[in-house]
């Protein structure tokens, strides 16, 4: 046996320590997943070797039969996993088994609260990986050698999962990795043949690499022969015919590719032959990954070319607004030596991308038939999908069908109404789809602009997500009906209003011309225009923006991002029926200018805007209240 040299004791990165601590305490009821994670790593390591061996046969070292082996020793209380995959160098080991490289990890760990159940779910989204060994083991030893390094470049890593690990150089003839778990007192149950076999079948049937366990066969005379038995199915799941794959197998496979704990909401498995040749298996997760909004968060599909694993996170096959979709693409249309750089230039990739985008949108469309499940999807990923119309103009009609909104029809803040259902409820003569954008649901719901719509019973979409105004600027129509922001431009309800109403409005406007002129003079530069409106029933005034002006929400976002925007002056609209407006008409001097100013400031506040000089507003208002 060799002796270890160059032994060092190193501390885990802080994030690893935190994760280990939380994981060990939170995942108690889900302990068996350690096996899935370790088999999954072994399978990844075999995939990587196979890929690198494409242009360097020597890596196989006369042992090209890739496999994972699992052994146990009930007496010693150990479980050992072994793979003959790519293995790790000393630096690899320090990097991979001592740190967490995912971006956003520190952020993620801050969200954990110490509440077991909640944390277990969050950790599931994060993906626990190798460190899950410590859920069942109080001592872990890893021995490994990288396929392209000499035998004396083996490495032994050892840790008790607390703050540190030791690492040493060893002699190791076999390439690949061996992990020995010394089971905790209360986890000894895993050192059991039956238990291990059933877990391998449960979690790893779909993995193409065979997972083997020792077997003993007795002949008629009672002589024993020891050998190996392949426990899993060992064919790549997506290659098998759909009809032969059970729901549970799809779900287990999802957990493997997505590093997720929960079941997927739905999936779509397709084999295509013809101009393009590919097999795709796409999943919609139930929960958002922790790095959904990270700039460099993991996204994309696992790419295979003719069944050979090429890379994880190939993000070239789906647009960004579908980045939550997980799965596999296996194609004959790319060459085996394709790289990330080459993918960007290959015209086949664009074709595959548009085909997969259609598949994904169709899958979501199908999911939307089940309203309850779709709502779960929408609540989690709706705001990502809303990036769609801007990113993917060609598919914007399909995306529009998938959008959900809060509206005045339901009065709940849940975004649960489709445009199709809005159109069904449209009033006789209504030709447009009306919406309002505000900073919060309540600001939208209580906006004065809605008053006339309430009175007439016309539904309005209530938009309050940060991306909503951006979204609407890329959606011009749905089902031939234009979208109209009711806080912009002149209000034209078209045929919903009859001729008599229109005439009455014109007459009022005429009668109030004098008032309008006085207010305009009094407010001067503060406003672009003053006019009489019929859109209000309860409020005395409101502000609107010119039709093609950027809305208030987008302005605030851009200003917050440090953009300097030219000032826009609002249009002030007055409700001629309101008592305050009548009072305005009969006042003059300071009383008139103060009240005009109060009406303008109030209208801005009701819109969610900020006053330049709020103290002056309060002072004017108090004076008015005390006369």
Instruction: Single out the segment in contact with ligand ADP by CB under 6 A; choices: 42-50, 302-310, 445-453, 511-519.
Output: 42-50
> Contact at 8 Å (CB) between 504 and 510?
no
> Does residue 83 bind ligand ADP (CB under 6 A)?
yes
Q: Which one, 300 or 448, has the nearer CB to Mg ion?
A: 300
Query: Residue 77 or residue 129: which is nearer to ligand ADP going by CB?
Result: 129
Nearer to ligand ADP, 63 or 115 (CB): 63
Stretch that binds ligand ADP, among 5-13, 79-87, 382-390, 584-592 (CB under 6 A): 79-87
Q: HSE-up of 370 (CA within 13 Å, CB side)?
A: 10
Residue 85 within binding range of ligand ADP, rule CB under 6 A:
yes
Candidate ranges 82-90, 301-309, 382-390, 450-458; the one touching ligand ADP (CB under 6 A): 82-90
Q: Which stretch binds ligand ADP (CB under 6 A): 41-49, 466-474, 540-548, 580-588?
A: 41-49
Report the sign of the C-alpha dihedral through residues 53, 58, 61, 65, in that order. positive
Interacting partner of 86 out of ligand ADP, Mg ion, none (Cβ under 5 to 8 A depending on kind): ligand ADP
Nearest distance from C-beta of residue 102 to ligand ADP, angstroms: 8
User: Least Å distance between CB 100 and Mg ion?
Assistant: 12
State the nearest-atom distance from the C-beta of 159 to Mg ion, in Å.
Answer: 17
Closest CA to 207 of 177, 239, 229, 179: 239
The option from ligand ADP, Mg ion, none interacting with 96 (CB < 5 to 8 A, set by class) reads ligand ADP
Beta bridge partners of 227: 215
Q: Residue 407: helix, strand or coil by DSSP? A: strand
Q: How far is the CB of 194 from ligand ADP (least distance, A)?
A: 24
Q: Please give the Cα distance from 531 to 156 (Å, whole number).
A: 81
Residues 194-223 that bind Mg ion (CB under 5 A): none
Q: Segment near Mg ion (CB under 5 A), from 39-47, 211-219, 383-391, 457-465? A: 39-47
Question: Nearest approach, Cβ of 44 to Mg ion (angstroms)?
Answer: 6
Query: Minimum distance from CB of 258 to ligand ADP (Å)?
Result: 11
Quote the CA–CA distance of 155 and 94 in Å, as a whole number.
10
Query: Considering only CA atoms, which of 519, 550, 522, 548 is closest in space to residue 532?
Result: 519
Q: State the binding partner of 553 from ligand ADP, Mg ion, none, CB within 5 to 8 A by kind.
A: none
Q: Does 124 bind ligand ADP (CB under 6 A)?
A: no
Q: How many Å apart are CA 562 and CA 556, to the nearest integer?
A: 10
Whether the CB-CB separation of 327 and 356 falls below 8 Å is answered with no
Burial 315-340 (b: 16+ CB within 10 A, else e): bbbbbebbbbbbbbbbbebbeeebee
User: Environment class of residue 291 by beta-carbon count within 10 Å: exposed (0-12), middle (13-18) or buried (19+)?
Assistant: buried
Q: Which is nearer to Mg ion, 179 or 284 (CB)?
A: 179
Which residue, 236 or 536, is less far from ligand ADP as judged by CB? 236
Report the residue from 124, 129, 289, 382 that binds Mg ion according to the rule CB under 5 A. Answer: 129
Distance of alpha carbon 482 from alpha carbon 475, whole angstroms:
9
How many Cα atoms within 13 Å fall on the side-chain side of residue 39? Answer: 34
Torsion sign over Cα 416, 548, 600, 501: negative
Find the binder of ligand ADP among 72, 143, 206, 259 (CB under 6 A): 259
Q: Which of 537, 384, 381 is nearest to 453 (CA)?
A: 537
Options 41, 105, 464, 522; binder of Mg ion; rule CB under 5 A:
41
Q: Under the criterion CB under 5 A, does residue 159 sit at the interface with Mg ion?
A: no
Q: Of all helices (H) and strands (E), which one includes residue 342?
A: helix 340-345
Residue 70 binds ligand ADP (CB under 6 A): no
The residue from 77, 104, 129, 389 that contacts ligand ADP (CB under 6 A) is 129
Q: What mask, x for binding Mg ion by CB under 5 A, covers residues 378 to 397?
A: --------------------
127 contact, one of Mg ion, ligand ADP, none, CB 5-8 Å limit per kind? ligand ADP
The entry of Mg ion, ligand ADP, none near residue 177 (CB within 5 to 8 angstroms by kind) is: ligand ADP
The pair of structure tokens assigned to 388 is: 């769609």
Contact call for residues 123 and 290 (beta carbons, < 8 A): no
Interface stretch with ligand ADP, choices 52-60, 127-135, 530-538, 560-568 (CB under 6 A): 127-135
Q: Does 77 bind Mg ion (CB under 5 A)?
A: no
* Residues in contact with 486: Cβ distance below 8 Å, sequence separation at least 6, in sequence order: 434, 435, 436, 449, 450, 453, 460, 535
88 near ligand ADP (CB under 6 A): yes
Tokens 């088994």, located at residue: 97
* Pair of tokens at residue 94: 């320090």
Would you state the structure tokens that stand for residue 75, as one six-digit string? 């007496």
d(CA 627, CA 616): 17
Judged by beta carbon, residue 300 or residue 551, the one nearer Mg ion is 300
Q: Which of 130, 288, 315, 384 binds ligand ADP (CB under 6 A)?
A: 130
Q: How far is the CB of 95 from ligand ADP (least distance, A)?
A: 8
Within a 13 Å sphere around the CA of 602, how many CA atoms are in the beta-carbon half? Answer: 16
Interface characters, 530-569, with ligand ADP (x: CB under 6 A): ----------------------------------------
Q: Supply the DSSP string of 523-554, one letter for each residue.
A: HGGG-SEEEE-SS-SS-SEEEEB-TTSPPHHH
Q: Which is nearer to Mg ion, 41 or 417 (CB)?
A: 41
The verdict on 488 binding ligand ADP (CB under 6 A) reads no
SS3 per residue for 195-232? HHHHHHHHHHCCCCCCEEEEEEEECCCCCEEEEEEECC
Q: Closest residue (Cβ) to ligand ADP? A: 129
Residue in 104, 127, 382, 388 binding ligand ADP, rule: CB under 6 A: 127
User: How many Cβ atoms sit within 10 Å of the Cβ of residue 590?
Assistant: 10
Q: Tell me the closest approach of the beta carbon of residue 139 to ligand ADP, in angstroms.
A: 17
- Chain residues in the site for Mg ion (CB under 5 A): 41, 129
- Chain residues in the site for ligand ADP (CB under 6 A): 37, 41-42, 44-45, 83, 85-88, 96, 127, 129-130, 177, 259
């Amino acid at each position: 046996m060799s002796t270890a040299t160059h032994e060092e004791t190193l501390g885990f990165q802080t994030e690893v320590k935190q994760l280990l601590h939380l994981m060990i305490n939170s995942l108690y009821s889900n302990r068996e997943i350690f096996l899935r994670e370790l088999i999954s790593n072994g399978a990844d390591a075999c995939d990587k070797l196979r890929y690198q061996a494409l242009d360097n046969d020597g890596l196989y070292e006369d042992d090209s039969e890739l496999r994972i082996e699992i052994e146990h020793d009930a007496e010693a209380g150990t479980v050992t996993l072994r793979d003959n995959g790519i293995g790790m160098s000393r630096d690899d080991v320090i990097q991979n088994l001592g740190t967490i490289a995912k971006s956003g990890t520190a952020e993620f760990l801050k969200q954990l609260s110490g509440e077991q159940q909640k944390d277990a779910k969050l950790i599931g989204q994060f993906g626990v990986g190798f460190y899950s060994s410590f859920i069942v083991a109080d001592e872990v030893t890893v021995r490994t050698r990288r396929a392209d390094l000499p035998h004396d470049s083996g490495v032994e890593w050892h840790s008790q999962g607390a703050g540190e690990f030791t690492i040493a150089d060893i002699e190791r003839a076999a390439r690949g990795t061996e992990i020995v778990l010394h089971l905790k007192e209360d986890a000894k149950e895993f050192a059991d043949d039956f238990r291990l076999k059933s877990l391998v079948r449960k979690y790893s049937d779909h993995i193409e690499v065979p997972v083997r366990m020792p077997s003993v066969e007795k002949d008629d005379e009672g002589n024993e022969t020891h050998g190996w038995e392949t426990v899993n199915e060992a064919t790549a799941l997506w290659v098998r015919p759909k009809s032969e794959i059970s729901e549970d197998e799809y779900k287990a496979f999802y957990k493997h590719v997505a590093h997720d704990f929960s079941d997927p909401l739905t999936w779509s498995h397709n084999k295509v032959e013809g101009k393009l040749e590919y097999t795709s298996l796409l999943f919609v997760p139930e929960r958002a990954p922790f790095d959904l909004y990270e700039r460099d968060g993991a996204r994309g599909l696992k790419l295979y070319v003719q069944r050979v694993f090429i890379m994880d996170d190939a993000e070239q096959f789906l647009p960004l607004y579908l980045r939550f979709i997980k799965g596999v693409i296996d194609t004959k249309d790319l060459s085996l030596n394709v790289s990330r750089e080459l993918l960007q230039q290959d015209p086949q990739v664009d074709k595959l991308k548009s085909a997969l985008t259609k598949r994904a949108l169709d899958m979501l469309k199908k999911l939307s038939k089940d309203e309850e499940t779709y709502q779960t999807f929408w609540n989690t990923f709706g705001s990502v999908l809303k990036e769609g119309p801007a990113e993917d103009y060609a598919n914007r009609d399909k995306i529009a069908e998938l959008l959900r909104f809060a509206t005045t029809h339901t009065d709940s803040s849940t975004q649960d109404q489709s445009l199709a259902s809005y159109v069904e409820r449209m009033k006789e003569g209504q030709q447009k789809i009306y919406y309002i954008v505000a900073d919060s649901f309540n600001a939208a719901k209580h906006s004065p602009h809605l008053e006339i719509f309430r009175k007439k019973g016309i539904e309005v979409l209530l938009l309050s997500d940060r991306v909503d105004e951006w979204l609407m600027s890329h959606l011009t129509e749905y089902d031939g009906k234009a979208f109209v922001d009711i806080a912009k431009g002149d209000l034209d309800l078209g045929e919903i209003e009859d001729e008599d109403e229109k005439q009455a409005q014109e007459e009022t406007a005429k009668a109030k011309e004098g008032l309008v002129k006085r207010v305009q003079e009094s407010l001067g530069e503060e406003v672009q225009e003053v006019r009489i409106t019929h859109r209000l029933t309860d409020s005395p005034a409101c502000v609107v923006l010119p039709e093609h002006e950027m809305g208030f929400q987008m302005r605030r976002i851009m200003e917050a991002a440090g953009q300097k925007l030219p000032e826009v002056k609002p249009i002030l609209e007055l409700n001629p029926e309101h008592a305050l407006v009548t009072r305005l008409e009969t006042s003059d001097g300071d009383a008139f200018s103060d009240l005009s100013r109060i009406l303008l400031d109030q209208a801005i506040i009701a819109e969610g805007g900020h006053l330049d000089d709020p103290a002056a507003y309060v002072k004017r208002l108090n004076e008015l209240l005390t006369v």
